[in-house]
Amino acid sequence: MSDTKETAELAICMGSSCFSRGNKHNIKIIKEYIDRHGLCGRVALKGHLCEGLCKDGPNITLNGEVFHSIDSASINVLLEENIRKQE
Ligand code: FES
């Protein structure tokens, strides 16, 4: 039997480039998503400083994998496919 209640680690780049190009909105979407689906204890959400990948941003790291060019549509797909599917 697999453990379906693992905690996902979600790290949002809060560097000025990623933040101004989309992560400012993405973080609100993520927080609303966590609240709406009662995932508070299952998602460890944190921010980090610029990692030098600005040209590919906005960047979000999920469980150690970096996802690039994340907009409001792709963040919802990312959350649905990588967090809710594990329920
Ligand atoms: S601001 Fe996000 S990688 Fe530079």
The model's pLDDT over 31-56, given as tens digits with 9 standing for 90+, comes to 999 999 999 888 999 999 999 999 99
Pocket flag, ligand 1, residue 13 (CB < 6 Å): yes
Domains of the chain by range and CATH?
8-86 (3.40.30.10)
Task: Measure 11 CA to ligand 1 centroid, in angstroms.
Answer: 12
Task: Measure 13 CA to ligand 1 centroid, in angstroms.
Answer: 6
How would you write the chain as a 3-class SS string?
CCCCCCCEEEEEECCHHHHHHHHHHHHHHHHHHHHHCCCCCCEEEEEECCCCCHHHCCCEEECCEEECCCCHHHHHHHHHHHCHHHC
In single-letter form, the type of residue at position 42 comes to: R
The model's pLDDT over 73-86, given as tens digits with 9 standing for 90+, comes to 999 999 999 887 66
Of 26-30, 36-40, 56-60, give the lowest mean pLDDT range. 36-40
Nearest CA to ligand 1 atom 1: 15
15 vs 85: CA distance, rounded Å? 29
pLDDT band (50, 70, 90) for residue 3: very low
The model's pLDDT over 6-16, given as tens digits with 9 standing for 90+, comes to 689 999 999 99
Q: Between the CA of residue 66 and those of 2, 3, 59, what are the distances in Å?
A: 25, 23, 7
Q: What is the pLDDT of residue 2?
A: 41
